[in-house]
Structure 1
């Protein structure tokens, strides 16, 4: 019983343990490309792209974790892009964690250059710079110092006794990434990428005195798409991330059923499953209609310490994407969409 209570307390105040510096995550990481690798700006079939992502976790405990992201990126194509092209994007993120309402506001600018080794082999490099602001609230927190031994009662006016000199601070965000893409045909492709974030390791603390650097986050990503039949594709995705001692491995995939391929009435259905090793699984469904994409998954908690309190309920995640195509592909080259 004492062990269970300890686990619950640790979960309630998770943002103030060593996990405070960990970044937010998405099960459908491939639908948030710029948050995982800035070199993926412009790496899609189209000219302009809008992405809206929402993730909600652990409402059943209840210490909800909520994440919101809004992205826009575009290509800068020359009239005859024989060698390559530049792309740029902007990303806004909002993340709120636990009873402490630990929040993160983040606005980033990303840029990349994609170079054609051949019409089928592409390499790209990109960078990211931005502004972040992190803060928390004591309103829903209780501390040992609240206990008045004389009156034998809880008195919040006594203060927390913690050395908080500030409840919010700002820092510079930086990142860089590289990516290789093999485009055998429109529906057969392979993508391999690597990236790093928090390159300057900005300090993360509320005391205003000590220096607690934000650890660099390293990411490795792979996505492969294979055409099986005229009406069916299969895609696999892999993500590995490391931030100090914390690691995350996500492996999954989906099948894509082409219901209608007629121009102006293109409709397809995606069904798949993601597995975050040691933490949970996420069944996924998505619908694509012309330039629109809507993807939904629900995380099922399998990690023992959390599933006991969450009743295996993690929460939903939804992605909305819209792509604008202004120009036709040049020659034989056409980038396959990253789903």
Structure 2
């Protein structure tokens, strides 16, 4: 019992401190395309796309580890470009470490008879804020009973508890036949996110994604066929490398998937992810589509599921053509690949 209480204490109090410098990762990466890779800006079937994704990490704990991302982007097919805006927010633990980021995104697309190659840039501003009064230090902890209620630490307070910094990202993505592959680099300018006065540059995060769309039952309209879509996404930031590998089964407006995620640490195993996507409506003539995605991560690491309660995500998306759009009603040209 004492061991379990100490594990939970470490998760709730210490994890927010050691998580500085590591980005959060979404299980439903396909429902946060601009977060995954700026080169995916404007890469969809339609003229307008809106996405929102919320992640509640370790929902069985009393502390709050949550992330939220929402974006809107336009497919400017007449000038072979995509433009968008994204807002990201994270709340980490009892220390109430809050991060708010807003960024503009742009992509340029080169198309051929059987491929689409896009290049993306993203730049914005991040605000990081820490509630110092919520932090717990060693002189506030008893080895037997844990946190000492009402105790005051002798740790020296920092001069500031909030910081703004510029952040820049870039990426490229290639669609070739039934393959999609991409790579992105985030925090290219290595911004200093320290609140203590000592420099703490944010490590560059490299993301790679690869998917293949295997046709099981063909259809005149690509979107209404039946497919198996195996994918792998790899993340590397500083000395941590993690990956997610799995597959999704897509039939008309229903998409179900299962994934294995490795967290890159000594234990390796992190979670098994189950996901399902519903396209509430999906009209061929104007590309209008409303999407609901739900997923749950069942923790498989040494922390175990009984302690954390797992992690849940819910995402929504909307796509449409403008009225009288010059590209409306197209049946899956190179710009309108639909992997998920």
Normalising by the smaller structure, the TM-score range is 0.7 to 0.9
> Which residue is equivalent to 2:222?
none
What CA deviation, in whole Å up to 9, does each residue of 1:39-76 have, x standing for no partner? 11111111110001111121212222111111001022
> Which residue is equivalent to 2:170?
176
Instruction: Tell me which moved more, 164-173 or 2-11.
Output: 2-11
What CA deviation, in whole Å up to 9, does each residue of 1:178-236 have, x standing for no partner? 11111x4xxxx2111011011111112211x2111110001111122222114521112
Displacement after TM superposition at 1:167 (Å): 1.4
- CA distance 1:298–1:170, shift in 2 (3 Å): same
> Which residue is equivalent to 1:336?
337
TM-score, with structure 1 as normaliser: 0.85
Tell me, in whole angstroms, the C-alpha distance in 1 between the residues paired with 2:20 and 2:123.
Answer: 21
Displacement after TM superposition at 1:162 (Å): 3.2
Tell me, in whole angstroms, the C-alpha distance in 1 between the residues paired with 2:128 and 2:331.
Answer: 47
2:105 is equivalent to residue 110 of structure 1: yes
Tell me, in whole angstroms, the C-alpha distance in 2 between the residues paired with 1:157 and 1:177.
Answer: 48
Aligned to 2:107, what secondary structure does the other structure show?
Answer: strand
Tell me, in whole angstroms, the C-alpha distance in 2 between the residues paired with 1:298 and 1:139.
Answer: 32
Displacement after TM superposition at 1:14 (Å): 0.9
- CA distance 1:40–1:131, shift in 2 (3 Å): same
Aligned to 1:295, what secondary structure does the other structure show?
Answer: strand
**Equivalent of 1:240, from 214, 234, 243?**
234
Instruction: Tell me which moved more, 4-13 or 30-39.
Output: 4-13
Indicate conservation of the 8 Å contact 1:178/1:194, yes or no: yes
> Which residue is equivalent to 1:270?
255
> Which residue is equivalent to 1:279?
270
2:92 is equivalent to residue 97 of structure 1: yes
Aligned to 2:247, what secondary structure does the other structure show?
Answer: strand
- CA distance 1:154–1:255, shift in 2 (3 Å): closer
Aligned to 1:43, what secondary structure does the other structure show?
Answer: coil
- CA distance 1:154–1:316, shift in 2 (3 Å): closer
Tell me, in whole angstroms, the C-alpha distance in 2 between the residues paired with 1:215 and 1:324.
Answer: 37
**Equivalent of 1:309, from 307, 310, 313?**
307
2:68 is equivalent to residue 72 of structure 1: no
Indicate conservation of the 8 Å contact 2:59/2:312, yes or no: no
Q: How many residues align?
A: 311
Indicate conservation of the 8 Å contact 1:107/1:130, yes or no: yes
Instruction: Tell me which moved more, 248-257 or 160-169.
Output: 160-169
2:14 is equivalent to residue 29 of structure 1: no
Alignment of 1:1-339 (within 5 A): 4=4, 6-12=6-12, 13-17=14-18, 19-78=19-78, 85-116=80-111, 118-145=112-139, 158-182=152-176, 184=177, 189-207=178-196, 209-230=197-218, 231-258=225-252, 268-277=253-262, 278-288=269-279, 289-290=281-282, 291-307=289-305, 309-310=307-308, 313-326=309-322, 327=325, 328=327, 333-334=333-334, 335-339=336-340
Displacement after TM superposition at 1:159 (Å): 4.7
Aligned to 2:39, what secondary structure does the other structure show?
Answer: helix
What CA deviation, in whole Å up to 9, does each residue of 1:4-48 have, x standing for no partner? 55543332221212x211111110112111111101111111111
Tell me, in whole angstroms, the C-alpha distance in 2 between the residues paired with 1:157 and 1:280.
Answer: 36
Displacement after TM superposition at 1:237 (Å): 1.9
Instruction: Tell me which moved more, 229-238 or 244-253.
Output: 229-238
Displacement after TM superposition at 1:139 (Å): 4.0
Q: What is the root-mean-square deviation of aligned Cα atoms in Å?
A: 2.4
> Which residue is equivalent to 1:81?
none
Instruction: Tell me which moved more, 26-35 or 300-309.
Output: 300-309
Tell me, in whole angstroms, the C-alpha distance in 1 between the residues paired with 2:154 and 2:126.
Answer: 26
